[in-house]
Amino acid sequence: MSSSGRSLADPAVTQQVYPDGRVALSDPGVLDDSRFANADLAPVPIARRTWGTYNYLALWVGMAHCIPSWTLASGLVALGMDWKQAVLTIALANVIVLVPMLLTGHAGTKYGIPFPVFARASFGVRGANLPAMVRAAVACCWFGIQTWIGGEGIFLLAGKLFGHGWLHAGSIGGTPWTQWLSFGVFWLVEVAIITRGMETLRRVENWAAPLVIVGALVLLGVMTDKAGGFGPLLDQPSGLGWGSGFWKVFFPALMGMIGFWATLSLNIPDFTRFGGSQRAQLWGQALGLPTTMSLFAVLSVLVTSGSQAVYGAPIWDPIALSAKMSNTVGALFALLIVMVATLSVNIAANVVSPAYDLSHLLPRLVSFRTGALITGVVGILIMPWKLIANPHVYIYTWLGFVGGMLGTVAGVLVADYWIVRRTRLALGELYRSEGRYWYTGGWNPRAVAAFVIGGVLAVGGSYSTVVKGVKQGPFPVDGLIPFLKPLADYGWAVGLASALLVYTLLSLGRRRNQDG
C-alpha cells in the first residue's frame, strides 16, 4: 500500500500526468520485474522527450528517400499507368497509411513507450510478443535487402575509383569478392551507428535528410542538362485510361503501396516516444510522409524520363543510373547520395523495431543494443542476395501477404487504444504480471481471436500470378482459400477493418475504467 492508503494498482500512485497530456512514471518501483522491463523498454522520462517537428520531418525524409521508394513509380508505369496516375496512387496510399501512423504514434508520445510495450495493453503482457515477432521478422528481412543494396552502392562507388580490377575481381558464389567486402563494410557502418543509441540515430537522420533531397535535385539537374529536356515518358499516354481497366489495377496497386509502409505504421511509437509534444509528432509526420513520397515519385519519373532521352532506355535503378555517368565526380556524388539514403532508411525503419522486439522477448538478457546486433546477424542469414534475385516471390507477393497481417495488428491496436480505452492506460501495469493487462496467463484471448479472424480474411485468399505460363510466387493460383481470393488484393484494408470490428464487438460490455 502507498502512504495514501492506495495500492500500486492505482494509476494515480504510479504515474504523473503533465499539463500537456503526456504521462510519466512517478514510481519507478513498478519496473522491478526483469521479465517484463529493462532500461530500453521503460517509459522515456519527460526530460528526454525532446524530438521536435523537424526531427520527425527529417526522419520521414530519410526513410522515404530509398531505392525501393524511387522504383515504386516504375512498377506502376509498367502496369500501364501514366506518370500522373502513378504519382496519384502513391500520394493517396501515403495519405491513407498516415492515419494509423498518427493513431498509434499518439500512444508513444503520451506514455513514452515503444511498440511492443504499447501492444501489451491489447494483446497482454506476454501476448504482445506475437505481433512483435511478426513485425521483427519482416524488418529483419528488409534490413538484409537494404544492406545488400547499400553494399552494391559501395561496390560501384569503389569501382569508379579502382577500375576494372575491382568490378571484375574473383568470384565467390558467383559474386565478386569485392562486392561481398562492400556488403560487409556497409553492414558494419549500420551496426556501429545503431548500437550508439537513438540519439545518434536522430543526429544521422537530421543531416542525411537535406543531403538526400539536394542529391536527388542535383541528379535531376544533371539529367535535364544531358537530355536537353525530358524524354517522351511524360508524354506517354496511360495504357489503362480512366475506365474500368484503370480501377482494376488501381486498387491492388494502392494496397501494395500501403503495404510498403505497413510495418512503419506499427513501428512509429518507437520514435514518437521521444516526442516533445503531440503537435510535434503529428505535424512532423503529416508534413514528412505524404509530401516526401509524392515528391520522390515525381523526381524518379522525371529523372528516369531524362535517362531515356540520354541512354535510349529508361533506367529506374538510381545505382545503375549513377554508374553509367561518364563524369567520375558526378557518379561518385550520386552513388554517395544513394548510400546515405539507404543507410538512413535502413537503420530507422529496419533496425530500431526488431531491436525493441527482441529486447521485449527476453528483457533480462537482451538490451536494445543486443537486439540490434541480432537483427544484423539475421539480416545476413536470410541471404538477401537470393531474395532480391526473385522479386516476384519476395518483394511483390510476400509484401502483400505481410501487409495484410500487419494491417490486422494495427486494427487491434487502434480499436483497443482509441475505441475501448479512449487513450487511457495504466502505465505502470504494462510492466507487471498481476495487473489488468495480464488477462489470461499474460494473453488477451479477444486480441488473439481478432488477429486470427482478421488475418484469415486478409491473407487467406493470397494467390500467385501466372506470367507466360509460369506461376510467379509461392501461393496457389486460385488462392490459399479460393473463396477469399477476391479479398487478397485489399489485404491491408481488410485486415485492419475486420480486426478492428471483431475486437470492438468482443469488447462490448466489458467494463473499462477511465485509466485503462
pLDDT score for 177:
93
C-alpha cell at 515: 485509466
Count CA atoms within 13 Å of residue 76 on its CB side. 35
- DSSP, res 274: T
201-241 residue pLDDT tens: 667 766 766 777 777 777 778 777 777 776 665 666 666 77
Task: Indicate which CATH number applies to the domain containing 308.
Answer: 1.10.4160.10
CA distances from residue 465 to 254, 416, 494, 513 in whole angstroms, order as listed: 17, 36, 20, 49
Return d(Cα 44, Cα 109) in angstroms, integer. 9
In a domain, 160, yes or no: yes
Classify residue 514 as exposed, middle or buried by CB count within 10 Å of its CB (0-12, 13-18, 19+): exposed
Print the domain residue range for 106: 17-23+30-509
Q: Indicate the number of domains in the chain.
A: 1
What is the per-residue pLDDT for 22?
A: 92
Q: Give how far the C-alpha of residue 167 lies from the chain's centroid of Cα atoms, to the nearest Å.
A: 32
Q: What is the pLDDT of residue 516?
A: 55
What does the DSSP assignment read for 92-108?
HHHHHHHHHHHHHHHHH
> DSSP states of 165-223 as a string?
HHHTPPEETTEEHHHHHHHHHHHHHHHHHHTT-HHHHHHHHHHHHHHHHHHHHHHHHHH
Residue 8: inside a domain, yes or no?
no
Query: The dihedral of CA 207, 209, 210, 216: what is its sign?
Result: positive
Helix (H, G, I), strand (E, B) or coil at 328: helix
Beta bridge pairs of residue 440: 443
Residue 44 lies in a domain: yes
Burial of 88 per CB tally in 10 Å (0-12, 13-18, 19+): middle
pTM for the structure as a whole: 0.82
Length of the chain counted residue by residue = 516
pLDDT, position 309:
75
pLDDT of 412 = 95
The label of the residue with cell 481497366 reads: 245
DSSP symbol at 430: G
CA–CA separation, 254 and 234 (whole Å) = 21
pLDDT of 122-136, one tens digit each? 999 999 999 998 888
Backbone angles phi, psi at 161, to 5 degrees: -90, -40
- What does DSSP assign to residue 415? I
pLDDT of residue 422: 92
Half-sphere exposure of 304 (CA within 13 A, CB side): 23
Beta bridge partners of 467: 470
Q: Is residue 514 part of a domain?
A: no
Structural domain contains residue 3: no
Residue 238: what pLDDT? Answer: 66
Report which of 316, 240, 262 is spatially closest to residue 84, judged by C-alpha positions.
240
What SS3 state is found at 70?
helix
Q: Give the gyration radius of the chain's Cα atoms.
A: 23
The whole-number pLDDT of residue 417 equals: 95
DSSP letters, 440-474, are BTTB-HHHHHHHHHHHHHHHTT---EEETTEEESS
Q: What is the pLDDT of residue 513?
A: 44
Tens digit of pLDDT at every position of the chain (516 positions): 333 444 455 665 578 888 988 999 887 767 888 888 888 889 999 999 989 998 888 878 777 766 667 777 766 776 777 777 888 888 888 888 888 889 999 999 999 999 999 999 999 999 999 999 888 888 888 888 888 888 888 888 788 778 888 888 888 888 899 999 999 998 988 888 777 766 666 677 667 667 777 777 777 787 777 777 766 656 666 667 777 777 877 877 787 777 767 667 777 898 899 998 999 999 998 888 888 778 877 887 777 777 777 777 777 777 777 777 767 777 777 777 777 777 777 877 788 888 888 889 888 888 888 888 898 899 889 888 877 766 555 555 666 677 778 889 999 999 999 999 999 999 989 998 888 999 999 999 999 999 999 999 998 888 777 777 777 677 888 888 999 988 887 888 899 999 999 999 999 866 544 445
